[in-house]
Amino acid sequence: MVMLPGIADKATLVTGSSRGIGYAVAEAFVTAGAKVTLLAETQEVVDAARRLEEAHGTDVGSIVCDVREAASVAGALRRFGPLDILVNNAGLERETRLDDPSAVAMVSTIMDINVTGMFRVTHAMLPMMKPGGVIVNTASEWGRYAPGGYSAYAASKHAVIGLTRSWSRELAESGIRVNAVCPGWVGTEPAMRTLRTMAERRGVTEAEMTAEIEAGQDIKGVMEPADVAGLYLFLASDLAANITGQAVHVDRGKFQA
């Protein structure tokens, strides 16, 4: 990973970082010399931090915390020291069809993790953020448009972009920049589960569904988590000192504003 100015030795917290995009982002910051702490809801995050320590020969912290629980967030983060960079990545992606009797409960869960949970963590960490700090939120390409059947997830990612824009204005006087990353299709377990569900609904094979998705991209293929991690690193670096309030896509050309 390229060493970008303004990353080395910066205290960095990455939520939802035991696997997938969050883990790749955490590893990118570790490689760039940041002092990284991982946060996720299960003990898996402890193992993830240990893997990063062994791979890169540096200390990596870990916090077990459910972002849905205010007391858990407050208790887990109370003793966290000064913070330079906050990456809000914790999220849940599930189908929520209107004809599904269980969908209402799932809508509540998705919004609580993806939106309110992001607010809880940011609210708890804000007093610890230094002037010149950076917040990077994980939105999605579905924060710009919405496929059928995933209304709650799409709504939550639209909301993340709204939080990003509002916080950018609110925190500007404190010298804190806020941006969002909108990943396209990435080969994570949740995304591949969604692909399989969509293929089944459409009555096509997974290969056919993948080909349809790729047809909307200028660059073909499904990205891996490491392919999007660099954008988080850039937005947190001094090279992006004049960028705030933006939702930036890394989607191989699918969405073009």
- Sequence-distant (≥ 6) Cβ neighbours of residue 116 within 8 angstroms: 68
Q: Which amino acid is at 79?
A: R
Length of the chain equals: 257
CA distance 34 to 63: 17
Q: Which of 23, 35, 150, 157 is catalytic?
A: 157
In a 3-state reduction of DSSP, which class is residue 65?
Answer: coil
Q: Which of 153, 220, 232, 254 is catalytic?
A: 153
Active site residue 150: no
Active site residue 232: no
Closest-CA residue to 65 (of 107, 12, 113): 113
In the beta sheet, which residues pair with residue 63?
Answer: 39
In a 3-state reduction of DSSP, which class is residue 5?
Answer: coil
- The answer to whether 170 and 8 are in contact (CB under 8 A) is no
Closest-CA residue to 5 (of 244, 233, 248): 233
* Residues forming the active site: 153, 157
